[in-house]
Amino acid sequence: MSLAIEVPNIVVNTPQWLALITTGVGAVEGAVLARNSSRTRNIQMDFVGVLVLALFLGLGGGLARDILLGNSPMVALRTPWYLVVVIAAAVLVVSLGRFIPPTDSKAFILIDALTLGLYAAIGVQYALDFKVSVIGAVVVGLFASLSGGVIVSLLRQETPQLLRPGIPYGLSALIGIIVYLSLAEFSGGVASFACVIAVVIFRFIVVRWNIQTKATSPIDLKTQ
């Protein structure tokens, strides 16, 4: 007698509590970055600044995904709970920020990787549901997982990590997307979990062995 274990597809049927936790984690990270801007970028932000960065890091990926797909009204606006979670995250960081682990701690790296992987997988599946090509689905997945961080970096007046030599952050999302697409036809549940796990493993490999990308050399323009 065979024993079949059904793996739930957390992408197609994402529980609202999981979506809200994902949003909350991103919002907390954005709020922490806002508070630390005075230390790292010599930029001071008031509560509105903290709230804006929390909003974009918590919801930016989902908003970018829905804009690309023409998914209206946007998922984050169909219920008030997403905005409530963002506001709560901003208040939490402003009032109890000293008790929150720093963004370079292992706990925060793990949570960030889980969020990145989930946003990537959900973005790809949304695109496939909208009958987008595989290449188009990859693009949507990348925008869904990375655009929030890019917007926050620009608001902090810094070049996004995605564009700079250093941690291959964008590659983490791309690996998760490729894993998801490779397994999606076999099992959506397995694909979604494998995507998230792949992103987490790669992120910790990068941290463990300090893997860094290198800057490209400028084009040598020889004078005639």
Instruction: Report pLDDT digits (tens) over 112-160.
Output: 898 899 899 999 999 999 999 999 999 999 999 999 999 999 998 888 9
Q: Give the chain as a DSSP string.
A: -----PPP-TTTT--HHHHHHHHHHHHHHHHHHHHHHHHHTS----HHHHHHHHHHHHHHHHHHHHHHHT-SS-GGGSSTHHHHHHHHHHHHHHHHGGGSPPTTSHHHHHHHHHHHHHHHHHHHHHHHHTT--HHHHHHHHHHHHHHHHHHHHHHTTS--GGGSSSS-HHHHHHHHHHHHHHHTTT-HHHHHHHHHHHHHHHHHHHHHTT----PPPPP-----
Q: Is the pLDDT of residue 223 over 60?
A: no
Domain spans in the chain, listed from the N-terminal domain onward: 16-208
Q: What is the pLDDT of residues 29-40, one digit of tens each?
A: 899 888 887 676
Per the model's pLDDT, the better-predicted residue between 173 and 221 turns out to be 173
At 71-87, the pLDDT tens digits run 988 989 999 999 999 99
pTM, whole model, 2 decimals? 0.87
